């Protein structure tokens, strides 16, 4: 599925651009609370599977709107592959959160890859699915003031690919899912890639 492109005609170049634009815009809408525009990015039968949510795309938007914490996404490199009216995109992402724990502010950075399947209907690209692939995370004091107290955080109690992220969710009373693809479970990542590759080839 993810193989080097040696030749790109005008139509494919346009599709690659439009898919990348859609994924980037969807993340922008999520971070800037542009819920009406975000709804336009998802297919009616879309599904989302990430650390804190599993369900429909519409439900994901509604749940995002209700979230109290601000968790912006920084998108880095993105790879897009298109075949007819289907596309797969994956972007390297960092997710940032700030939370007060034990009387002090801490910053969390979660490193992940967001894996998208997209379809074109009536000339318009839409997100059909979004799945998180988790790599690692870090947590550190937000301000160098005084001596931070050790957190009551035992990484051994969580998945190593997103331990601190789940800890933050737990402390804020949010549910989370620890059964998602991650670099600590390569068989799940390989299965996702195999499934998406097969889906893309059947366009």
pLDDT along the chain (203 residues), means of 10: 86 96 97 97 98 97 88 93 97 94 92 98 98 96 79 90 94 92 98 98 88
Closest CA to 91 of 135, 123, 57: 135
The pLDDT assigned to 144 comes to 76
Residues β-bridged to residue 191? none
The pLDDT assigned to 184 comes to 97
Assess if CATH 3.30.2270.10 describes domain 10-186: no
Does residue 182 contact residue 114 with C-beta atoms inside 8 Å?
no
The pLDDT assigned to 7 comes to 85
Name 100's Cβ contacts closer than 8 Å, sequence gap at least 6: 106
The pLDDT assigned to 188 comes to 98
Per domain, the residue ranges of the chain are 10-186
Q: Give me 184's structure tokens.
A: 């600590």
Q: Kindly report the CA angle at 194 between 190 and 198, in degrees rounded to 5?
A: 170
The pLDDT assigned to 162 comes to 96
Burial of 142 (C-beta count, 10 Å sphere; 0-12/13-18/19+): middle
The pLDDT assigned to 176 comes to 94
The pLDDT assigned to 77 comes to 94
The pLDDT assigned to 50 comes to 97
């Amino acid at each position: 599925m993810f193989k080097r492109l040696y030749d790109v005609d005008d139509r494919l170049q346009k599709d690659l651009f439009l898919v990348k634009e859609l994924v980037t815009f969807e993340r922008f809408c999520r971070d800037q609370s542009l819920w009406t525009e975000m709804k336009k990015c998802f297919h009616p039968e879309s599904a989302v599977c990430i650390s804190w949510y599993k369900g429909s795309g519409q439900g994901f938007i509604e749940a995002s709107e209700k979230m109290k914490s601000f968790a912006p996404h920084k998108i880095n490199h993105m790879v897009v592959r298109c075949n007819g009216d289907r596309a797969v995109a994956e972007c390297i992402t960092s997710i940032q959160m700030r939370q007060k724990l034990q009387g002090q502010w801490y910053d969390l950075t979660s490193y992940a890859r967001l894996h998208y399947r997209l379809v074109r209907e009536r000339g318009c690209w839409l997100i059909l699915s979004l799945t998180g692939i988790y790599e690692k995370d870090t947590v550190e004091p937000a301000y160098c003031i005084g001596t931070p107290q050790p957190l009551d955080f035992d990484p051994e109690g969580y998945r190593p690919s997103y331990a601190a992220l789940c800890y933050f969710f737990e402390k804020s009373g949010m549910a989370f899912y620890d059964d998602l693809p991650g670099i600590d479970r390569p068989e799940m990542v390989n299965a996702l890639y195999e499934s998406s590759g097969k889906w893309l080839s059947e366009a």
